[in-house]
Amino acid sequence: MKTRIRQIELFSAKAKLAKPISDATHTLTEISFIVTRIHTETGITGEGYLLSFQYSPQAILGALKDQREKLIGEEVFNTVKAFSDLDHHNEYFGMEGINRWAQGIYNIAMWDAWCKILGQPIWKVLGASGRKIPAYGSGGWISYTTQELIEEVTGYAKRGFKAVKIKVGKPDWKEDLERLRLVREAIGPHINIMMDANQGMNVPDALALARSARELGIQWFEEPIVHTDYEGYRLLRNQAGISLAMGEREYSTVPLRELANRNALDIWQPDILRLGGVEAWRNSAAVAGAFNIQVLPHYYKDYDVPLLATIPNGSGTESFDWIDPLIDNPVQFENGYAIPHDKPGWGFGFKDECLNLLA
């Protein structure tokens, strides 16, 4: 069986964005992606994508080009070997950060190609624990008007989602509290609400907001403070009376270990690109499971849904609709649950007309 990588192409793609959107720490002026296509000797294609926004387009493209040369001729099933070889190659300038993103997208594409060769969806190759994955509607940007916020959360409710997440972290936390109250009034008592500060708050304000929001039944609080303040997370979890979630900024399981040892975390949110791909994602889920911590990943539902179907401690997936118009087979939802694809590989691909060749 010929499974060697013959060629790798890099593309860009963009989703529509009517106007910039903001959270507590960033303003996003575009919703853009980098897509890689790995071609094998026998014509099988594997795809991976990463969410790039407007940030460092030449830096990530440079890392992708550097690593591409190391992968030509590699067997697509050698995902662990390829990751290790690239780690060695990247060590001088750093194995985390932008280099790890590049490793992640290639790992994801290799898995896609290998499972297509096997003729199976990735969740069947890895072994399934379940098929239905709870999903929540994400967004609630700080830059939204009140009307835009209410329209979004009620729209998720009408589509069958049982939970929504909104951004917090305004200069005055009482404004956040008022927005949360409006959301609760709009969607009623039976839909869960989560809040995400994107590291944009200090400990006193995060504590005040969490305590004040208890009466609204907030399910959990994501990234209330800077992700490296482990003691701050411990204090908040002990005093705020609300579950804490974090993990999307992490490139390894070290922060998970530090927080777990402090009993300072309830939900681990791995980002498959930052961690470096499938094996790293699953390794982090296993570490979380050893501490009885639930796994609810960051952003990449098209990868996370099938992977969540393979672990025992997965609690749900985040849903944005950004890539849905750009791909041929978006994730399907039924009554607030996401259903893993039955097609080989990841089960979807980007439409040719939505891609622009980069290199």
What does the block give as tokens for 119?
């003729």
Tokens of 240: 């705020």
pTM of the model: 0.96
Quote the pLDDT of residue 181: 97
pLDDT beyond 80 at 1:
no
Whole-number pLDDT of residue 359: 86
Name the pLDDT band for 114 (thresholds 50, 70, 90): very high
Average pLDDT over every residue of 305-319: 97
CATH topology of 5-119+350-357 equal to that of 124-339? no
As given in the structure block, the two tokens for residue 65 are 């080009």
pLDDT above 80 for 70: yes
Confidence (pLDDT) at 214: 92
Q: Where are the domains of the chain?
A: 5-119+350-357, 124-339
Average pLDDT over residues 60-88: 96
End-to-end CA separation in angstroms for the chain = 28
CA 334 – CA 235 distance, rounded (Å)? 38
CATH of range 5-119+350-357; options 3.30.390.10, 1.10.275.10, 3.40.50.150, 3.40.50.300: 3.30.390.10
Looking at residue 131, its pLDDT comes to 80
CA distance 268 to 220: 12
| CB-based contacts of 238-243 (< 8 A; 24+ apart in sequence) | 239/207, 240/206, 240/207, 240/210, 240/211, 241/210, 241/211, 241/214, 242/210, 242/213, 242/214, 242/218, 243/219, 243/267
Pick the CATH number of 124-339 from 2.70.98.10, 3.40.50.2300, 1.10.10.10, 3.20.20.120: 3.20.20.120
Using a pLDDT cut of 90, give the percent of the chain over it. Answer: 97
Q: Is 162 exposed, middle or buried (0-12, 13-18, 19+ CB in 10 A)?
A: middle
Q: What is the pLDDT of residues 236-269, one digit of tens each?
A: 999 998 999 999 999 999 999 999 999 999 999 9
Whole-number Å distance between alpha carbons of 217 and 1? 55
Rg, Å, the chain Cα set: 20
